[in-house]
Chain A
Amino acid sequence: MTLRAELRVTRGNFTLDLDLTIAPGEVVALLGPNGAGKSTALRALAGLLPLTSGRITAGESTWDSPESFVPPEKRPIGVVFQDYLLFAHLSALENVAFGLRARGTRRAEARAEAARWLDRVGLAGHARARPRSLSGGQAQRVALARALATGPSLLLLDEPLAALDASTRLQVRSELGRHLADFGGHTLLVTHDPLDAMVLADRLVILEDGRAVQQGPPAVVARQPRTDYVANLVGLNFYRGTASGTAVDLDGGGSLTIPAPVDGPVHVVFPPTAVSLHPRRPTGSPRNAWPVTVAAIEQHAHTTRVRLDGVPAVLADITTATLAELRLRPGDELWAAVKATETHTYPI
């Protein structure tokens, strides 16, 4: 049974226009900036927001179409909300049992099943705890157990890791990955964090301004971004241009030399680590070199990222040693250089 959705939702000036197909067992990540329509898509799939047009079908059954609408309580879904929305007046066990009780399971049976789910997420000892007394990671796992306990055919995860601090996040992410691998239904993960999407999903759908701008396996998307947003997410310098032979004229001005000859409109990418900075025009091997001006300097964990204005503008990651040697300050004039072999070119 494959889930097919043609999601068309119009709200004021915003239009969501997204076709989505999820195969059984597949985890699809919907990745995009704030306001791209990710939550709208999730709410439409959950039935919390009726479609303006289009349809949602799961195998033989239709959830939403111009003729019919199945309300959320009748859809076989489980949702993990961004801030979990655990019921504060119920214990962890009662929270997990809630969906089973609502769908008509007897009390004792529902509680036993809920206890099994709490055990699976490693919270058997917290069955009687109120949500308020749980840590962020524990609350997330209760929310996941609650969503999965009813045996949904579609699992919707809305920024499931966004509320966690960095250290918890790493652990919860790997646990979530394990549960998603065990889950036989369809999973849609909505996130603005590329790392969550890359690690957890089988396929990425990049949503910008209500439309899918790129989709594919994480490795392909990471290597060949198609928009500035994606390139920024995966941390690559990204240019559009027209190639003729090994020279590419960039749309925004400037040109780059690439290793293998192609013709026509292309994208050119290279990592910021491939950029070297020099006080004077570098000489020697065939490289791309152009004058730039330091716009900003950001300190990251082990590297320094330098934003450089020029034709074209470029990001460079340099080591602390280089930073000390060049004594960089905003406004400094330098030369940026990139080896042709460090660039990656693919057609638009």
Chain B
Amino acid sequence: MSVQLDARPPVLPAPTTRSHRLSRFDTRYSPYLYITPFFLLFAVFGAYPLAYTFWVSLHDWDLLGTDHAFVGAENYTRLLADADFWHAVVNTLGIFVISTVPQLLAALWLANLLNRQLRARTGWRMAVLIPNVTSTAAVAIVFGVLFGREFGMVNWLLDLIGIDAVGWKSNRFASWVAISAMVDWRWTGYNALIFLAAMQAIPRDLYESAAIDGASRARQFWSITVPLLKPTIIFAVIISTIGGLQLFTEPRLFHSGTNPIRGGPLRESQTVTMYMFENAFAPHYNFGYGSAVAWLLFALIAIVAAVNVLIIRRLGGQTPGGRAAKGDLR
């Protein structure tokens, strides 16, 4: 809007000149022109594949086959009755919950620490991001070895304190924990930096007046920092939801050996994306069914993201914005 205002000439020149028409065209349409590249790219790489996947999901589509019979919603009806699919959904949600909740809490705590006066502050802030710049594949393989049943370091440590070896890859809950550890190791620092950026935008005087009123550090954190961080927390939750529900690389590489796409002999940690891959590619090569899984996953993410936003809104209290939060203190 402000661009348009600035661009409008202060005095109207003669209405018929060519340059005038050009400039009016410019002011009216160039903003659209500037944002076109994004939408063009999105149309080619986002919207079109999305629509095409939907089209595929309505067919009996063998990946290598040449004729693909139209079957309508059959893939979807079969999928909704498919116990393995729902098993994968539960796995995905389970891993999502036990990875995201501690992760965001830890990130918040870490950001709070980094926001204080520390020596070599930039160094610390950069250090928390290091796990994020390592390759996911490398992380997953290393964790896969750490959590090995017989030769793994985690079981060795447990053995030292007298706990029996855990089948990290063949016990459903244990495998969720192991994969969550991987996800958290990688993403906690990243979220901490996002929270930190938002924390630095909170005016100092709020803390000062709270301190004068006698609020402790913890009280300041919960009554000033967290409420004012709410938009950022919502952002982090949505991004984590999208990522968490599409979790693939970590659980896939956590399992090695024959047919790792199952995520364990009883599909202990098979996520929805892995189930999609199993159906669309090896060993089933049923592209139609795999596409149906992709679309249901899309719906699932939309639902979970919406639920999360509602929950976060509730948790943060009904008060919109910081002024009310500041008022609460008084």
Q: Do A and B bind each other?
A: no
Q: Which residue numbers of A lie inside 8 Å of B, CB to CB?
A: none
